[in-house]
Amino acid sequence: MAETTPGRRPAPPREEVFAVAMAAIAEHGLAELTMAGLGRRLGMSGGHLLYYFGSKDQLLLETLRWSEDELGERRRAALGEPLPAAARLDSFVALYLPTGAGDPRWTLWVEVWGRSLAVAPMRAGQAAIEAAWRADLVALLREGIAGREFRTVDPERFAVRLSALLDGFGTPLVTGLPGTDRERAIEHITEYLDESLHLH
């Protein structure tokens, strides 16, 4: 994405578009993120953005993929640390949960979840991103079981349950529902892991 049109500023690299989109979401939320407004931040027209991305749905999905690629690198680095599996599972949980109300990555996730009901490509994109998280979690669980840090559980089934628990805590956190906070969520999740997975 670096073509030029006579009389126009060269189109910015896609990564710049994604970074500016995430910054706009962090500032004002998704409701005010329009193609025209994003184009103004980038010094180009909303129509020019549509030319490259096809639709706002596609832009949102690609921005989410870009964000998740960056977070995926951090996740793999954390899971590759020479630490007990239990400590790395704690890092996984911390990376998964939103940082707080309005977390831009989770705000994007909520939007993609809603739009994926009617847009098949968004469903497929969402599933691919979630599959990467699930695969890393299953591999970590298997390692912990093999090393006798964790009880013997079905890693695939446990990963499904833990993912559902994380999503269940993450959604009210990102939307800022009263009575929810990240520290309390982590306490509940840690208690669940201690009771259901850790050996004593």
Could you give the residue range(s) of every CATH 1.10.357.10 domain in the chain?
Answer: 68-196
Amino acid at 173: L
The confidence band for 45, taking pLDDT boundaries of 50, 70 and 90, is confident
**Buried (b) or exposed (e) across 22-45, using 16+ Cβ within 10 A?**
bebbeeeeeeebebeebbeebebe
Distance CA 140, CA 132 (A): 13
pLDDT digits (tens, 9 = 90+) for 50-82: 888 888 888 888 999 999 999 999 999 999 999
- 181: number of Cβ within 10 Å: 14
User: Does the 1-54 domain belong in CATH 1.10.10?
Assistant: yes
Residue 68 phi/psi, 5° resolution?
-70, -30
Distances (CA, A) of 61 to 54, 64, 109, 119, 129: 12, 5, 9, 11, 10
Could you give the residue range(s) of every CATH 1.10.10 domain in the chain?
Answer: 1-54
Tokens of 120: 């098949």
What's the pTM value of the predicted model, to 2 decimals? 0.86
% of the chain residues with pLDDT over 70: 94
State the architecture of 68-196 in CATH terms.
Answer: Orthogonal Bundle (1.10)
